[in-house]
Amino acid sequence: MIAEEYIWTEGNPIEAVKNLLRSLKESLDKLQEEAEVCAVGTTGSARKLAGVMLGADAVKNEITAHGVGTLSRYPDARTIFEIGGQDAKLILINDGVIVDYAMNTLCAAGTGAFLSSQAKRLGIAVEEMGDMALRSLAPAKIAARCTVFAESDMVHKAQSGYRKEDLVAGLCSAVVTNYLNNLGKGKVIQPPVVFQGGVSKNPAVARAFEKETGLPVIVDENSHLMGAIGAAILAQRAAAGRVFDFRAAERTFSTRAYECGGCANQCEVVCFYQDGVLLDTWGNRCPNYDRQKAALVG
C-alpha cells in the first residue's frame, strides 16, 4: 500500500471525499517514483455519491468489498466481524466464497456511532476508550440489548460510583454482546475470525470478542481499511482505463434534495451537481421527474 487515509465523514461526504483526495495526492507526491491512479472504487453508505464524484470504475456494497478485501489478506478466513461507524456486519465465508451475512437492521446499538456518543458523554476521546477499558479490573455490567437502555444503565452505574474505566470496559463488552446477540443469532462462527472496521481499533472490543466466542480474533494493522482495499481490488478488476484527475478535489460539488411533485409518489429526488451542472439524480422511482427543476442549482 503506497498511500492511505482514514477520516470521519462528519455529515459531509463531499467534503470528506475532497479531503481524502488532497491527502492521498500529498502522500503520492512524496513518493520517489511517479504514481498513477488506474482505477477508482467506492464503497460504504455514500458509495454512489462518491462514485459519481470520482467517476469510479467500481461502486460496490460494503459487504462484498469487505469480503474481497479481507480474503486478499487472509484467504482462509471463515468469519468476518465488521463494526463500522453506522452499521455492523457479520460475514460468513466458506472456501473463499462469501456464503452468508447479517447486518444490523433498524437499530444502531453496537456500532461505532454508539461508542462515540457514549465517549462524548463521558468526556473522553473514542480512540482512548480501548486502552482505558483494558485498565479496568471490574468492568461494569451494562445492558446490551439497546442503546437507550445501555445509556441509562451507564448513567446509573456512574452515579453508583463505578470508575470511568469500568464503565468504558462495560460499554466495550456491551457492544460485543449486542453484536453477537443480534447478528450472530443462529449463525455458526468458525475460525479463523477476522475483526475489522473502525471499531476493531479498540483493543478492548477485540478482547471481548475473543472472550465471548472462545476463538482467537485476528485484527490486521489495516483492519480499518479492509473495505477500501476490497473496493480497490474490485476497481482494479473493472478498470476502464480512464485517466483519473486529482483536480476533482477543487471542483465545486453540491447536492440538493427536493420532493418531486410529478406524480403521487412524491419521490425525494437527490440532485448532484458538479460546478453547477446536474451530474446525476437518485431517489426517483421513475424517470418522469421534473428535469427543469432538477437542473436548477439550489
Near other proteins by CB under 8 A: residue from 19, 23, 265, 274 = 265
* 285 belongs to the binding site for other proteins (CB under 8 A): yes
* 188 belongs to the binding site for other proteins (CB under 8 A): no
Q: How far apart are the first and last CA of the chain?
A: 40
# of chain residues touching other proteins (CB under 8 A): 24
Question: Considering beta carbons, is residue 36 or 95 the nearer one to other proteins?
Answer: 95
Applying CB under 8 A, which part among 58-66, 115-123, 161-169, 209-217 lies near other proteins?
Answer: 58-66
Considering the complex, what minimum distance in angstroms separates the CB of residue 65 from other proteins?
A: 9
* 263 belongs to the binding site for other proteins (CB under 8 A): yes
* 266 belongs to the binding site for other proteins (CB under 8 A): yes
Cβ–Cβ under 8 Å, residues 181 and 205: no
Cell of 110: 453496537
221 φ, ψ (degrees, to nearest 5): -65, -25
* 262 belongs to the binding site for other proteins (CB under 8 A): no
* 183 belongs to the binding site for other proteins (CB under 8 A): no
Cβ–Cβ under 8 Å, residues 20 and 5: yes
* 203 belongs to the binding site for other proteins (CB under 8 A): no
Instruction: Report H helices in 225-276.
Output: 226-238
Residue 193 β-bridge partners = 79, 217
* 7 belongs to the binding site for other proteins (CB under 8 A): no
Cβ–Cβ under 8 Å, residues 258 and 293: yes
16 φ, ψ (degrees, to nearest 5): -65, -45
Residues 81-140 that bind other proteins (CB under 8 A): 95-101, 103, 105
Cβ–Cβ under 8 Å, residues 187 and 90: yes
For the chain, give the number of residues. 298
- Binding region for other proteins (CB under 8 A): 45, 48, 60-64, 95-101, 103, 105, 186, 263-267, 283, 285
